[in-house]
Amino acid sequence: MSTASKPQTIWSHCNGCGQETKHEIVHKASRRRSFDDDQYSSVEVGSEWTIVQCCGCEEVSMRRVDWCSEDDYQGDLNPPTFFPARVSRRKPVWLTREHAPSTYVGMLDEVYATLHADSRRLAMMGARAIIDVVITRTVGDQGSFSKGLDELKNKDLISKRDRDIIEAAVNAGSAAMHRGHQPTADDVNVVIDIVERMVHAEILEAKAKELAATTPP
Ligand SMILES: [Zn+2]
């Protein structure tokens, strides 16, 4: 009979697979500290770290659960925090493959992490900020979003239909920021689709120029 123990597994969201998958527990560590509250009792706080590896794509991540002896958990402990943060929308392959400018990669990463936490207002604000960066990088600061979009359209960088959709996205971002509007998950996904398309178009344009410059006449 084999003496090797069966690896412990848990179900957890995997960023690589884009869904909940079975993960093997690779390592566990914990920390516990006591603080004297007063003469009669002491408070204990602790953290449990678990390093897990997806049984499908083999991506490794770490989850941390913090606890305090004074908390009333009613069965469940505090929700775990993941490193790196879990994302529910998969990052497009071109974002890393085509060496996207780091500004876009960083901002989009944050938007995807925000989506996973279902923080739709923050995701919308992030999307609006990315559109602002696209405008500034491609046609320069035009003083307002609307003028920036006009300039993108004048330079044939976007179509009239694109402009209308983007304007709707910007309005949704503004409503999220100033009027507490809670966008639906569908609204947010449409906006992120548009943002990804704008960023990809900019990257492809740079690639096309590179290709033209290196192709012998
Ligand atoms: Zn996976």
Q: Tell me, what CATH number does 181's domain have?
A: 1.20.120
Domain boundary among 47, 63, 83: 83
The rounded Å distance from CA 15 to ligand 1 centre is: 6
- Structural domain count, the chain: 2
Whether residues 66 and 109 share a domain: the answer is: no
Residue 204 lies in a domain: yes
Whether residues 70 and 104 share a domain: the answer is: no
Give the model's pLDDT for residue 107. Answer: 92
Contact by Cβ (8 Å): 138, 203: no
Give the structural domain span for 59: 9-83
Whether residues 121 and 148 share a domain: the answer is: yes
The rounded Å distance from CA 62 to ligand 1 centre is: 13
Domain boundary among 83, 103, 118: 83
160: exposed, middle or buried (Cβ count in 10 Å: 0-12, 13-18, 19+): exposed
Tokens of 67: 């606890």
Whether residues 151 and 210 share a domain: the answer is: yes
The rounded Å distance from CA 20 to ligand 1 centre is: 8
Residue 4 lies in a domain: no
- pLDDT beyond 70 at 189: yes
The rounded Å distance from CA 53 to ligand 1 centre is: 8
CA distances from 140 to 15, 108, 158, 198, 203 (A): 35, 21, 15, 15, 17
The rounded Å distance from CA 48 to ligand 1 centre is: 22
Whether residues 50 and 152 share a domain: the answer is: no
The rounded Å distance from CA 108 to ligand 1 centre is: 20
pTM above 0.85, yes or no: no
Residue 132 lies in a domain: yes
15: exposed, middle or buried (Cβ count in 10 Å: 0-12, 13-18, 19+): buried
Band (136; pLDDT cuts 50, 70, 90): very high
The rounded Å distance from CA 24 to ligand 1 centre is: 11
Task: Kindly state the average pLDDT of the residues 127-142.
Answer: 90
Whether residues 100 and 205 share a domain: the answer is: yes
Residue 88 lies in a domain: no
Give the model's pLDDT for residue 15. Answer: 85
Give the model's pLDDT for residue 125. Answer: 87
Detail the DSSP E strand segments found in the chain.
Answer: 9-14, 19-36, 42-54, 60-68, 81-83
The rounded Å distance from CA 2 to ligand 1 centre is: 28
The rounded Å distance from CA 61 to ligand 1 centre is: 10
Whether residues 179 and 105 share a domain: the answer is: yes
The rounded Å distance from CA 41 to ligand 1 centre is: 44
Residue 171 lies in a domain: yes
Residue 3 lies in a domain: no
Whether residues 178 and 103 share a domain: the answer is: yes
Whether residues 198 and 109 share a domain: the answer is: yes
The rounded Å distance from CA 12 to ligand 1 centre is: 9
Contact by Cβ (8 Å): 28, 99: no
- pLDDT beyond 80 at 177: no
Residue 168 lies in a domain: yes
The rounded Å distance from CA 16 to ligand 1 centre is: 5
The rounded Å distance from CA 85 to ligand 1 centre is: 14
Domain boundary among 83, 117, 145: 83
The rounded Å distance from CA 84 to ligand 1 centre is: 13
The CA distance from 65 to 77, in Å, is 8
Whether residues 36 and 116 share a domain: the answer is: no
Tokens of 114: 């925000």
Whether residues 75 and 128 share a domain: the answer is: no
Whether residues 25 and 122 share a domain: the answer is: no
pLDDT digits (tens, 9 = 90+) for 141-151: 999 888 988 99
Residue 173 lies in a domain: yes
